Copies of this chain bind each other. A is one copy, B any other.
Amino acid sequence: MVVQQSHAPGQHEANERFMVSACSQCQTRHLSICAAFGTEELITLDHVVQHRTLPPKTTLFDFGQPVDAVYSISEGTVRLFRLLSDGRRQIVGFAIKGAFLGVTLPATFDLSAESIDTVRMCRIPVQTFRAMIDEKPHLLRKLHELTARELQAIQGQVILLGRRNAEERIATFLLAHRERLARFSPCSVTVPLVMSRTDIADYLGLTIETVSRTISKFAREKLIVVVPDGVRLLDIEKLNHRANEA
């Protein structure tokens, strides 16, 4: 669904001539909704998909906007959020490699989305996508599966926000984020955090100060070490215990 990596200007066209399908070569394909496509469908897809690279802090779409396209993220991190009228923000999730934005196929976006770092993505016009769903029950099945997975994930978020304290939230977040990233990068105790403390705070229903203090506390207790753009988990055992406290 996305070409493997950026090419020198001249090389790009060359690739298009040689490759049967750029989407079929896509590294994130098997992680994404595109895993549901067969070879011919991928070729069809090549003609409708728009590959885009977004700089950091770019809006993908805004809450309430009519849905004109759906997105598959192939690199980078996107924050999905809602703003209250007074500026309070709740981040509902971080979309990373393989994420599909638009599982609910709403008429208007039910969330806003912004790139955090540089994001590569595939944009599919929604009418095209709907047409494909109508043709292929298999795709609808995959879409339902993705929606179901998302629903289950967000149920966890509800429990976190409703009934867990600051320490449990941070510990849970670090462990869960590591887990998510482990799907690609070899499983490491170093958890890269491309999002800011403010993003983490708005995701966990806390303030930036509480996030900072709790991370500092964990560091003081030697559960983690803060490293540039992330944390290294020193004691996953104990961290897990702090996540499921009591």
Which residues of A come within 8 Å of B, CB atoms?
82, 84-86, 88-90, 92, 103-106, 110-111, 137, 140-141, 143-144, 147-152, 154-155, 157-159, 161-164, 202, 204-205, 244-246
Contacts and interface: CB of A to CB of B under 8 A. Distances in A.
- Of A88, A154, A163, most buried by chain B (CB within 10 Å of CB) is A163
B148 A82 contact: no
12 contacts: A82-B159, A84-B163, A85-B244, A89-B163, A90-B159, A90-B163, A104-B148, A104-B149, A104-B152, A144-B147, A150-B151, A161-B161
B154 A158 contact: yes
A86 B82 CA distance: 32
Contacts of A86: 245-246
Contacts of A161: 158, 161-162, 205
A148 B106 contact: yes
A88 B154 contact: no
A154 to B, nearest CB: 5
For A89, A90, A143, A202, the residue with the greatest tally of chain B CB atoms inside 10 Å of its CB is: A90
Given A137-B140, A163-B89, A152 B110 contact: yes
Contacts of A103: 148, 151
Contacts of A104: 148-149, 151-152
A105 B148 contact: yes
Contacts of A147: 144, 147-148, 151
Contacts of A90: 158-159, 162-163
A149 B161 CA distance: 21
Contacts of A143: 144
Contacts of A157: 158
B92 A163 contact: no
Given A106-B152, A154-B155, 12 more contacts: A88-B163, A89-B163, A104-B152, A137-B137, A137-B140, A140-B141, A140-B144, A144-B144, A151-B154, A158-B158, A161-B162, A162-B204
